[in-house]
Structure 1
Amino acid sequence: MILTVTPNPALDLTWHLDRLTPGETHRADAGAAQAGGKGLNVARVAHAQGASVLAVSTAGGRTGIELAAELAASGVPHRLVPVAAATRRSIALVDQELGDTTIVNERGVNPTDAEWVTLVGEVVDALPGAQVLVISGSLPPGAPETLLPLLIGTARDAGVPVIADTSGPALLLAADAGASVLKPNAAELVEATGIADPVDGARSLIARGVDLVLLSLGADGMLAVTASDVRHARLETPLTGNPTGAGDAAVAACAVLYADGVRDPETILRRATAWSAAAVLMPLAGEISDDWEALEQRLLVAPFTPVFREDSL
């Protein structure tokens, strides 16, 4: 079973526009609202691909009620801890002409200490049935610095490997606490480490004890960095679409393989890159195209050469 934790969930609101013009009024068809936050997206993708999952998160206020209702309708197994503060919202505006997406993420409100204790308790209760723990997404402002080390350390003590997808100081906390896999993007890696070179930045996380860094390069694909090797996977021609949730699909791929006992970095890189690309083809986060196997066959995988196009993310 894949156990996911989303410390800062969101009600994801998505509108598709013919063209987004700053400063102008836009009209759109009815948007979509679904339970989101990175960990919930990971669970949604893995569940849709037949994996056993359990998603642990929080829900509060009117947005939390809507999040809980949509999550229940989705069929994704979950446990939601009630909190007093309203669940945040994330707004995605998809420009269909340009093929890109503008995102506004509310920061979220920090749960109380008692609410955090309840969430940690839900994770601890579920760990005996887990093959891998995924901690994914941002932390709300003011979240205790002990949260990630506690979750990761508890999982490691139970013999459960941890995949973490977070940013800022939390990325370093996850590395120091013993996460097996980290999945930053290029900007998050620089922000956390202060190192401009992507391989050097990833290796700095390896030096802290991480086994594998999956580094998203946007249109340029993905790197798998270990202590001894760097592999690069990409499509010859980048896809256009909605990149929201592409990184979550990559984490879901890694989690599914880890739950099956697969540890080979290139195998994980291929699947993660293919699922990430397949997510770009879908209108909403938490979904991947059925064409992911064909995309995996089209991947170019080789030792990394640091040459970037101007449109790299």
Structure 2
Amino acid sequence: MTVLTPNPAIDITYRVSRQRIGSTVRVLEVLRRAGGKGINVARVLRSLGIEVAAVQPLGGAAGEWIHTRLLAEGISAHSIPITEQTRSTVTVVDDVEHPTVLAEPGPHVPEEAWARLCERVRLTCHDGGILVISGSLPPGAAPTRISDLIAAGRGAGARVIVDVSGPALLAAAAAGADLLKPNAEEALQATGAQEVDAAIAQLLHAGARSIVLSQGRGGLLAVDSHGRRLHQGAVPDVTGNPTGAGDAATAGIAAAWARGAALPVALHWASLLGAAAVLRPSAGEIDLADLSSLAERLPTPPSTSPASSLPAPIPARPPQGPLAGPAAG
């Protein structure tokens, strides 16, 4: 599986007793990880035992650090060098307020590097494989860069999952992405719609083949180009750090596709992994030991019927691997 991160970062998490604007706040704990939405997805997939090719532009000492960390975590890193320094993001968390995220804009990625990223996607993808494109575009990048990356994956025979925002989300829809995975706010902002259903309809009309919409505690809503819908509830009463939960959910869908599971199971896995990520102190990680207890609290996906669900993304076969037990529930 190939996961492309257009704008990677060193993710720094500060844990404090209480966030206070305008005051000196003592940091209780500091965590540093290779990050960016796509790298978070890749890390969760690797935790599930899935081999991942992580493709990203990287620059400077920060970029070298990220590349080294990916290799140390057993993730195959395919990094395209750029001149400018890779960015950092800082997340401030406590046990009271919603986390505060300070995200640097990131470096400029030149034309030559975009061409090399597309070529690397073509080389790492394969017929019947999966490409995940996840995260913001770096400054100055045209939304059509997403279209180029989708075309590269498609040209290699891969199905493409895209989790981006803003004009890039519209470009991904127009390029016919197999699945878009925005959250509700991103879908509304990108389309200018006032209601979620109108935003979904606009993205499907633009050319997206299907959408899985994250709704936080409202769960996941899947809709295909024929208007067929399927809802998966969230695991109830899960508290912690929600940063990166959406990335873990994207990994759940990709893992299900890779193992031939039908969409109700894919949504079940996505909800389960999203909840597992909330329990961890930093984004882009899960603990497999949490899955069994979370699965006991997760609503069982509804049975498949033409009126209430989507077709399986690929021919179904029994799922295998760490998630097979919980997903079957």
1:108 aligned partner: 106
Give the whole-Å Cα distance in 2 for the aligned partners of 1:162 and 1:29: 40
1:18 aligned partner: 17
Size of the aligned set, in residue pairs, is 301
Give the whole-Å Cα distance in 2 for the aligned partners of 1:13 and 1:130: 36
TM-score of the superposed pair, with normalisation by structure 2: 0.86
Q: CA deviation at 1:99?
A: 5.5
Q: CA deviation at 1:265?
A: 2.8
State which of 174, 193, 199 in structure 1 corresponds to 2:191.
193
1:160 aligned partner: 158
**1:57 counterpart = 2:56:** yes
2:2 aligned partner: 3
TM-score of the superposed pair, with normalisation by structure 1: 0.90
Give the whole-Å Cα distance in 2 for the aligned partners of 1:94 and 1:114: 38
Q: CA deviation at 1:187?
A: 0.9
1:228-249 deviation per Cα after TM superposition (whole angstroms, max 9, x unaligned): 3323222463311011110100
Give the whole-Å Cα distance in 2 for the aligned partners of 1:79 and 1:33: 21
Give the whole-Å Cα distance in 1 for the aligned partners of 2:128 and 2:48: 17
1:286-309 deviation per Cα after TM superposition (whole angstroms, max 9, x unaligned): 1123222442342235679xxxxx
One-letter identity of the residue aligned with 1:243 = P
What does 1:250-269 correspond to in 2, within 5 Å?
A: 250-262=249-261, 264-269=262-267
Q: Which moved more, 1:155-164 or 1:66-75?
A: 66-75
What does 1:166-245 correspond to in 2, within 5 Å?
A: 166-226=164-224, 227-235=226-234, 237-245=236-244
One-letter identity of the residue aligned with 1:101 = P
The RMSD of aligned alpha carbons is 1.9
Give the whole-Å Cα distance in 1 for the aligned partners of 2:245 and 2:237: 13
Q: CA deviation at 1:91?
A: 0.5
Give the whole-Å Cα distance in 2 for the aligned partners of 1:257 and 1:203: 25
- The DSSP-based 3-state class of the residue aligned with 2:260 is coil
Give the whole-Å Cα distance in 1 for the aligned partners of 2:220 and 2:269: 11
Give the whole-Å Cα distance in 2 for the aligned partners of 1:6 and 1:236: 28
Residue pair 2:11, 2:89 contacting (<8 A) in 1 also:
yes
Shift of the 168–145 alpha-carbon distance from structure 1 to 2, 3 Å rule, reads closer
Residue pair 1:271, 1:296 contacting (<8 A) in 2 also:
no
Give the whole-Å Cα distance in 1 for the aligned partners of 2:215 and 2:126: 35
1:174-206 deviation per Cα after TM superposition (whole angstroms, max 9, x unaligned): 011011111111110001111122123113222
Give the whole-Å Cα distance in 2 for the aligned partners of 1:127 and 1:63: 27
Residue pair 1:182, 1:214 contacting (<8 A) in 2 also:
yes
Residue pair 1:99, 1:240 contacting (<8 A) in 2 also:
no
Shift of the 176–296 alpha-carbon distance from structure 1 to 2, 3 Å rule, reads farther
What does 1:32-47 correspond to in 2, within 5 Å?
A: 32-47=31-46
Give the whole-Å Cα distance in 1 for the aligned partners of 2:232 and 2:205: 23
Aligned identity (percent) is: 41
Structure 2 alignment gaps of length 5 or more: 303-307, 310-329
Q: CA deviation at 1:45?
A: 0.3
Give the whole-Å Cα distance in 2 for the aligned partners of 1:225 and 1:299: 21
1:58-79 deviation per Cα after TM superposition (whole angstroms, max 9, x unaligned): 2112221222232222221111
State the 4+ residue runs in structure 1 displaced beyond 4 angstroms: 301-304
**1:246 counterpart = 2:245:** yes
What does 1:142-153 correspond to in 2, within 5 Å?
A: 142-153=140-151
- The DSSP-based 3-state class of the residue aligned with 2:27 is coil
- The DSSP-based 3-state class of the residue aligned with 1:26 is coil
1:80 aligned partner: 79
Residue pair 1:249, 1:286 contacting (<8 A) in 2 also:
yes
1:88-126 deviation per Cα after TM superposition (whole angstroms, max 9, x unaligned): 111000112x16311011111221111222222211111
Shift of the 203–60 alpha-carbon distance from structure 1 to 2, 3 Å rule, reads same
Give the whole-Å Cα distance in 2 for the aligned partners of 1:229 and 1:183: 16
Q: CA deviation at 1:143?
A: 0.9
Shift of the 72–236 alpha-carbon distance from structure 1 to 2, 3 Å rule, reads closer
One-letter identity of the residue aligned with 1:229 = R
**1:67 counterpart = 2:76:** no
One-letter identity of the residue aligned with 1:237 = P
Q: CA deviation at 1:8?
A: 0.4
Shift of the 166–236 alpha-carbon distance from structure 1 to 2, 3 Å rule, reads closer
- The DSSP-based 3-state class of the residue aligned with 1:156 is helix
Q: CA deviation at 1:129?
A: 6.8
1:233-289 deviation per Cα after TM superposition (whole angstroms, max 9, x unaligned): 224633110111101001101111112233x33222111111111110111111123
Give the whole-Å Cα distance in 1 for the aligned partners of 2:127 and 2:156: 10
One-letter identity of the residue aligned with 1:63 = A
Q: CA deviation at 1:20?
A: 0.8
Q: Which moved more, 1:49-58 or 1:119-128?
A: 119-128
Q: Which moved more, 1:181-190 or 1:56-65?
A: 56-65
Q: CA deviation at 1:82?
A: 1.2
Residue pair 1:189, 1:201 contacting (<8 A) in 2 also:
yes
Give the whole-Å Cα distance in 2 for the aligned partners of 1:246 and 1:236: 12
